[in-house]
Amino acid sequence: MSDPLTNLIPRPSAAVPAEGGFRLDPATPLDAAPALAGVAAWLRGTLGPATGCHLPPGPGGIRLRVDDELAAEEYELVIGDTGIDLRGGSAAGVRHGAQTLRQLLPPATLRRSRLPGGPWRVPAGRIRDAPRFAWRGVMLDVARHFMPVADVLRLVDLIAFHKLNVLHLHLTDDQGWRLDVPGWPRLTSVGAWRPSTMLGARQHERYDGRPHGGHYSDDDLREIVAYAAERHITVVPEVDMPGHMQAAVAAYPELGNGWSGPVRTSWGISAHVLNPGPVALDFCRAVLDHLCDLFPGELIGIGGDECPPDEWRDNPVAQARIQEVGLAGPERLQSWFTARMAEHLARRGRRVFGWDEILAGGAPSGAVIAAWRGPGPAAHAARAGHSVVSCPDTAVYLDYRQSDDPAEPTPVGTRLTLADVHAFDPIPPGLTDAEAALVLGGQANLWTEHMESARRVDYQAFPRLCAFAEAVWGPAGRDFADFSARLPLHLERLDALGVNYRPVTGPRPWDSRPDAPGNPRTLNDRLSELTEMTADLSQAPA
């Protein structure tokens, strides 16, 4: 890639090179408008240690400004021999431009301490850039494998580096509960710990025999939210309900349907769900209230996926509720439950964010749908008038295997190559312009059944997350050959940032997990399965 102004990821929409460049040295000043004090402090902190250029306040040098004529996340970066002018439609736009500036410098400047080199040269020219989608998200599952706060913050920095702007935190599941809730202490003393963890895909029935767990304090979550907000990333929390609740029921059996037992150790879907009685409903409202207190964003995730109704068929509490509200059967209890939680969140000024299963029976007005069961539900949600985030497992589930190489660690799901992810388009075909406008953007999902550490998350996420970032930032028409030509330099950037990415050439010998075998699937098999799974949408309002 000969043009340094476009040798970036994601690729900017418009770049015009010029002769010369700007020399960054320890005397270079930084002139920032008062509204950009946070961006200026971050830029000094991120560039100074590696370059020796701590950017003292003063005129000239690098100039940061907000320009109301630009869209909020749009920026323009102009680099000349005598200085750098960066303006954005908001602080978020200016920060995106500053991330571009970081990529224009040599990869060594991304390290945490200074290496030999400098002064540093920034190539001259003009870049004007803006995202295609407002929602450019990453979901991190911290329920299956707990991730310490420091590792979450590191991932936030990597997300921001790629101009992504939503972190969806999957905080609870059958295998672990990861947050305090006032008045419910056993959620973390019991529900946050499982006695053993499955090694590999569930078909193999292998376990490690070691307890696993952990949870975030309120201050931990406040720190994550604040750290992300400084980087213009919104954190959307999710507590899955009424299914995927075995950890909560293990802590408080009265929330369930007569079952008692431990936090789930195997992967897959638990049959042990919440009952629809007053105690369980009050519990869910308490959880949602606490999420509203900790997370300032408009959306609160309630999951709503994979909730088998089997236990409700014989539970007197569930049967009484069905009779009380006049439901046709236990299969209708989930949509009734979802509506009650949406009402409660609305009283707090919030909206429901849920998986596409909540479309069955009619999703609540104002709900945002995370469409995951293949490409169909995104179109269905948009045609039903709902805002939608596209995250189909057939395109952006980064826990799925990256190749057919048997050395891939715990290969599960369908094959999703770098090219497959780069080709992803959040807007499904066949929508009208009005329906397409309801697609907020896309999200890549990191389910961590087989990612026990930040190192494993790195391997599964990168460089596919780089391709995803380009898919949700740039235009619909993309050139994978062009992306591939830009990737080698970007991998040097990831090296400097300490990312354990998967090499393009394939897994290294030490990446394999022979102790944790997988369960590869073909795309045709998965599409057939998804056709059956989404049959519930045929009865959903559209």
Q: Single out the catalytic residue among 162, 212, 244, 422.
A: 244
Query: Residue 539 — very low, low, confident or very high, per pLDDT cuts 50/70/90?
Result: low
Give the model's pLDDT for residue 541.
58
CATH number for the domain that contains residue 328: 3.20.20.80
Span 27-42, average pLDDT: 97
Query: Residue 115 — very low, low, confident or very high, per pLDDT cuts 50/70/90?
Result: confident
Residue 333 and residue 312: Cα distance in Å, rounded? 9
268 plus 174 within the same structural domain: yes
Query: Residue 540 — very low, low, confident or very high, per pLDDT cuts 50/70/90?
Result: low
97 plus 141 within the same structural domain: no
DSSP structure class, residue 518? -
| The model's pTM | 0.97
Does the annotation count 232 as an active-site position? no
276 plus 417 within the same structural domain: yes
Span 213-219, average pLDDT: 98
Q: Is residue 7 part of a domain?
A: no
First and final CA of the chain: distance in angstroms?
47
> Alpha carbon of 464 to those of 92, 220, 400, 420, 461: distances in Å?
24, 28, 11, 9, 6
Q: Single out the catalytic residue among 173, 240, 357, 435.
A: 173
Does residue 542 register a pLDDT over 80? no
Does the annotation count 244 as an active-site position? yes
98 plus 151 within the same structural domain: no
Residues across the chain = 542
Over residues 84-100, the pLDDT tens digits come to: 999 999 999 999 999 99
Over residues 375-413, the pLDDT tens digits come to: 899 999 999 999 999 999 999 999 999 999 999 999 999
265 plus 386 within the same structural domain: yes
Give the model's pLDDT for residue 288.
98
501 plus 421 within the same structural domain: yes
Q: Is residue 4 part of a domain?
A: no
357 plus 381 within the same structural domain: yes
Reduced 3-state DSSP string for 464-517: HHHHHHHHHHCCCCCCHHHHHHHHHHHHHHHHHCCCCCCCCCCCCHHHCCCCCC
Amino acid at residue number 499: V
61 plus 202 within the same structural domain: no
Over residues 246-272, the pLDDT tens digits come to: 999 999 999 999 999 999 999 999 999
Q: Is residue 3 part of a domain?
A: no
Burial class (CB within 10 angstroms; exposed 0-12, middle 13-18, buried 19+) of 432: exposed
Helices of type H across 295-427: 316-325, 333-347, 376-383, 393-396, 418-422
In the listed set 129, 159, 188, which residue is the last one of a domain according to the structure? 129
Give the model's pLDDT for residue 482.
97
Does residue 49 register a pLDDT over 50? yes
Give the model's pLDDT for residue 537.
84
* Domain range for 77: 14-129
Strand partners, 443: 137
317 plus 183 within the same structural domain: yes
Q: Is residue 54 part of a domain?
A: yes
In the listed set 62, 95, 129, which residue is the last one of a domain according to the structure? 129
Place of tokens 């959306």: 299
207 plus 263 within the same structural domain: yes
In the listed set 76, 109, 129, which residue is the last one of a domain according to the structure? 129
What phi and psi values does residue 418 have, to the nearest 5 degrees? -60, -40
Query: Residue 217 — very low, low, confident or very high, per pLDDT cuts 50/70/90?
Result: very high
Burial class (CB within 10 angstroms; exposed 0-12, middle 13-18, buried 19+) of 336: middle
Residue 304 and residue 89: Cα distance in Å, rounded? 36
Per the structure, the count of domains in the chain is 2
Q: Single out the catalytic residue among 218, 306, 492, 511.
A: 306
Does the annotation count 173 as an active-site position? yes
Does residue 78 register a pLDDT over 60? yes
120 plus 145 within the same structural domain: no
CATH number for the domain that contains residue 78: 3.30.379.10
Whether omega for the bond prior to residue 242 falls within 30 degrees of 0, making it cis, is yes
Burial call 208-235: b when 16+ CB within 10 Å, e when fewer: eeeebbebbeeebbeebbebbebbbbbb
Q: Is residue 410 part of a domain?
A: yes
Q: Is residue 326 part of a domain?
A: yes
Does residue 1 register a pLDDT over 50? no
Residue 222 and residue 474: Cα distance in Å, rounded? 32
122 plus 147 within the same structural domain: no
Cβ-contact 496, 108 below 8 angstroms: yes
Q: Is residue 176 part of a domain?
A: yes
Give the model's pLDDT for residue 538.
66
